[in-house]
Chain A
């Protein structure tokens, strides 16, 4: 490794390195005399240089070692042990340290057994399938558990955590109004502007209103909101619940007799289910306003004319399509967040991993479901 050589040289100029000399004795047995400080900062690559000696070593002389710590003591004692040599000239301190460290065997990690590729591959595949099956069962179980808890809360309204629900509604809904409004406004501008450019080719610029209004209410308002909420709140649910699992807060709840499903999951799921339709509608309105603004400027449809045209050309069922989808999306996002949070165990890395999974799974499920909804609603005549 050339780079390690360079660094060794440059550091060597500043530090006093441990070194050794070999003295040939009678009968080919040599003495290795170590000198300089034998400390963790000075040993460097001494072990590799010692291991490179091919002579038979009878004694390891520590008389010239100025200073020693456990790392140096380990190095000397291991070298002596490997070569069946004896240590001479050690100081009192060195003897004490060598006695302390020589109890360890210094064995490295047990090497992993190499498996044949076919075996390894099938084991890997099997594990993945098993994990996928377990995951599916786990999610279904979790959804079931949420429904049961919801039922329990409905049966005993006294146990319902109104405060938690309101707090979550604020976090999911109110605090995201700004970003969702701005995002939807901008998306509305883009749709109206791009739509107008294409529709102008056919002289049908007025259809920009239909395009913006219908797409905002049916699809984009809800979908963009769902994605934003998954990124903001789904991740927050997973990270918060995951951290609570790590700090044993969830276990503490269980021992007190508080169901984490009722205390944590139900308020979050309900908050998301209530807030998503509201946010989605808000987003649609913002998108329509965005479209109206750009239309005023670019295609000379006055602002209020645009808005009144919306009322004429957008059928009411477009509104309902959006509103019906929204709570379903909200539930999926919240469950993905809470489920992944609950799956955290052992370490902090898992919190990050599970948070990512919550967002990815939430957004993916929302988009897949949205496609199903699109087909469904056109089949039932709400096209």
Chain B
């Protein structure tokens, strides 16, 4: 069980197929505690399917997945509830409940898991979650359709953080955001990760995100994880897809920009999380 202390997510020998179409074959992946793991791969390599398998929305054909040392695939109901209260998920489109305000959206998991918390305190918790997700406080009373795409992502993040999870799943958080909004969201993710001590499983296509905030990167290709490591480690590998991905024009641009801006900015990051609002 020491393993599960160090690795909150352990996937072994995962196999997923839809009919004859095999998505994953013998896929193994370990996520270290307290890291931001970026998951990359071409379209259709099953990044989202992998995430859905880990959070139990997709029943794999074969393999073993354990989260916090407990198997996801055949867990008891109590285990299931326990695990669910320890992770938060941000879906691609935000997946906010459209008939509830942002504040009520955040209150849903609180209400579900901890009904003993009083209405006032629950409202206050929702309110500061809105704030630490970088939204203006009055956003709590707005409906999702009154928010911009970037704000909706932040609201989704606020809901994912409602229970103070240890584990955070982000599915392409910066997709569809403008570069400034995307950079602000990256910062926010990093700061929240540092402040709250999160382990983050982050699916992305955004090279800037990878360079900026990911501790390690897992590469999905040929139906399994072909490599996990820091970007320099990956660059040392001789896999054509990895080389093309990181050394393509966009990869080089992202790398150049990160090297330019590297002058100590990472250490200077302060704790005041809600510096940037709106995206």
Task: Give A contacts to B, CB under 8 Å.
Answer: 4, 7-8, 11, 39-41, 43-45, 47-48, 69-71, 74-75, 78, 93, 96-97, 99-101, 103-110, 345-349
**Distance between Cα atoms of A8 and B123 in the complex (Å):** 20
Closest 9 CB pairs of A and B: A347-B98, A104-B128, A104-B131, A69-B164, A106-B124, A346-B145, A47-B121, A349-B99, A44-B116
A7 to B195, CA, bound (A): 33
In the complex, A45→B161 CA distance in Å?
Answer: 21
- B113:A41 contact, CB within 8 angstroms: yes
B209 at the interface (CB under 8 A from A): no
Residue contact A101 to B114, C-beta cutoff 8 Å: no
Chain B CB within 10 A, most for which of A40, A105, A109: A40
Docked-complex contact B271 and A96, CB < 8 angstroms:
yes
Closest B residue by C-beta to A345: B145
B144: A residues at CB distance < 8 A: 347
Verify A40–B98 contact, CB threshold 8 A: no
Q: Is the CB of B143 within 8 A of A43?
A: no
Closest to A17 in B: B116
Among A48, A101, A109, A110, contact of B123 (Cβ-Cβ < 8 Å): A109
Q: Which residues of chain B in 48-86 are interfacial with respect to chain A, using CB atoms and an 8 Å cutoff?
A: 85
Q: How far is the CB of A358 from chain B (nearest CB, A)?
A: 19
Known contacts A47-B121, A96-B271; A107 and B127 CB within 8 A of each other: yes
CB of A104 within 8 A of CB of B132, answer yes
Residues of B within 8 A of A (CB): 85, 98-99, 103, 110, 113-118, 120-121, 123-125, 127-132, 137, 140-141, 143-145, 161, 163-164, 195-197, 271-274
Report yes or no: A74 in contact with B118, Cβ–Cβ below 8 A.
Answer: no
Contacts known (A78-B124, A109-B123); A347 close to B116, Cβ less than 8 A: no
Could you tell me if A346 and B116 are in contact, using CB atoms closer than 8 angstroms? no
Which residues of chain B come closer than 8 Å to A105, judged between CB atoms? 127, 137
5 residue pairs A–B, Cβ–Cβ below 8 Å: A74-B125, A100-B272, A106-B124, A106-B127, A109-B140
State whether A99 touches B271 (Cβ < 8 A).
yes
Instruction: Give the chain B neighbours of A106 by CB distance below 8 A.
Output: 124, 127-128
Contact of B120 among A8, A40, A108 (CB under 8 A): A108
Most-contacted residue by chain B among A11, A70, A105, A346 (CB, 10 A): A70
Q: Which of B98, B117, B197 has the most CB of A within 10 A?
A: B117
Instruction: Label chain B's interface by main secondary structure.
Output: helix
A104 to B137, Cβ gap below 8 A?
A: yes
Asked if residues B145 and A44 are in contact (CB atoms below 8 Å), the reply is: no
Neighbouring B residues of A96 by C-beta, 8 Å: 195, 271
Contacts of B164 in A (CB 8 A): 39-40, 69-71
- Identify the closest chain B residue to A95 (Cβ): B271
Closest to B103 in A: A109
Bound together, the chains give a CA A348 to CA B93 distance in angstroms of: 15
The answer to whether B113 and A348 have CB atoms under 8 Å apart is no
Contacts of A345 in B (CB 8 A): 145
Which residues of the partner chain A approach B272 to less than 8 Å between Cβ atoms?
Answer: 99-100, 103
Closest chain A CB from B142 CB (angstroms): 11
Residues of A within 8 A of B117 (CB): 40, 43-45
- Cross-chain contact B274 with A8 (CB below 8 angstroms): no
Besides A70-B164, A106-B128, 10 other A-B contacts (C-beta < 8 A): A7-B115, A40-B114, A43-B117, A70-B129, A97-B196, A100-B132, A104-B127, A107-B127, A109-B123, A109-B141
CA distance A40 to B88 in the complex (A): 14
Residue of A nearest to B194 (CB): A96
Nearest CB in chain B: distance from A154 CB, A: 38
Q: How far is the CA of A36 from the CA of B165 in the complex (A)?
A: 19
Give min CB distance, B278 to chain A, whole Å.
Answer: 15
Closest B residue to A72 using CB positions: B164
Q: Do residues A47 and B118 form an inter-chain contact, with CB atoms below 8 A?
A: yes
Could you tell me if B114 and A4 are in contact, using CB atoms closer than 8 angstroms?
no
On whether the beta carbons of A100 and B271 are closer than 8 Å, the reply is yes
Q: Is the CB of B195 within 8 A of A100?
A: yes
Q: Whole-angstrom distance between the alpha carbons of A44 and B116 in the complex?
A: 5
With A71-B125, A109-B123 known as contacts, the answer to whether A103 contacts B131 (CB < 8 A) is yes
The answer to whether A70 and B132 have CB atoms under 8 Å apart is: yes
Known A45-B118, A104-B137, A109-B103: A74·B163 in contact at CB below 8 Å: no
**Whole-angstrom distance between the Cβ of A222 and the nearest chain B Cβ:** 38
Note all chain A residues with C-beta closer than 8 A to B163: 40
Nearest CB in chain A to that of B166: its residue: A69
Q: In the complex, what's the smallest C-beta–C-beta distance from B275 to chain A, in angstroms?
A: 10
Closest chain-A Cβ to B28's Cβ sits at a distance in Å of: 31
Query: Which residue of chain B has the shortest Cβ distance to A105 in the bound complex?
Result: B137
Contact check, B137 vs A43: say whether CB atoms are below 8 A apart.
no
Are the CB atoms of B114 and A47 closer together than 8 Å? no
Are B103's CB and A74's CB within 8 A?
Answer: no
A93 to B120, CA, bound (A): 25
Chain B nearest CB from A295 CB (Å) reads: 54
* Cα separation A102 to B115 with both chains bound (whole Å): 24
Contact A74 B124 (CB under 8 A): yes
By the criterion CB–CB under 8 Å, are B115 and A40 in contact? no
**Bound CA–CA A103/B136 (angstroms):** 11
Q: In whole angstroms, how far apart are the Cα atoms of A48 and B149 in the complex?
A: 37
Q: Is the CB of B114 within 8 A of A41?
A: yes
CB distance from A8 to the nearest CB of B (A): 5
B56 to chain A, nearest CB (A): 20
- Chain A contacts of B273 at CB under 8 A? 100, 103
How many angstroms between the C-alpha atoms of A106 and B103 in the bound complex?
A: 12
| Complex-state Cα separation, A347 to B98, whole angstroms | 5
Give Cα distance in the complex from A108 to B125, angstroms. 10
Task: Enumerate chain A residues within 8 angstroms of B85, measured Cβ to Cβ.
Answer: 41
Inter-chain CA distance A375–B10, complex, in Å, is: 76
Are B128 and A70 neighbours in the complex by a CB distance under 8 Å? yes
In the complex, how many angstroms separate the beta carbon of A312 from the nearest chain B beta carbon? Answer: 60
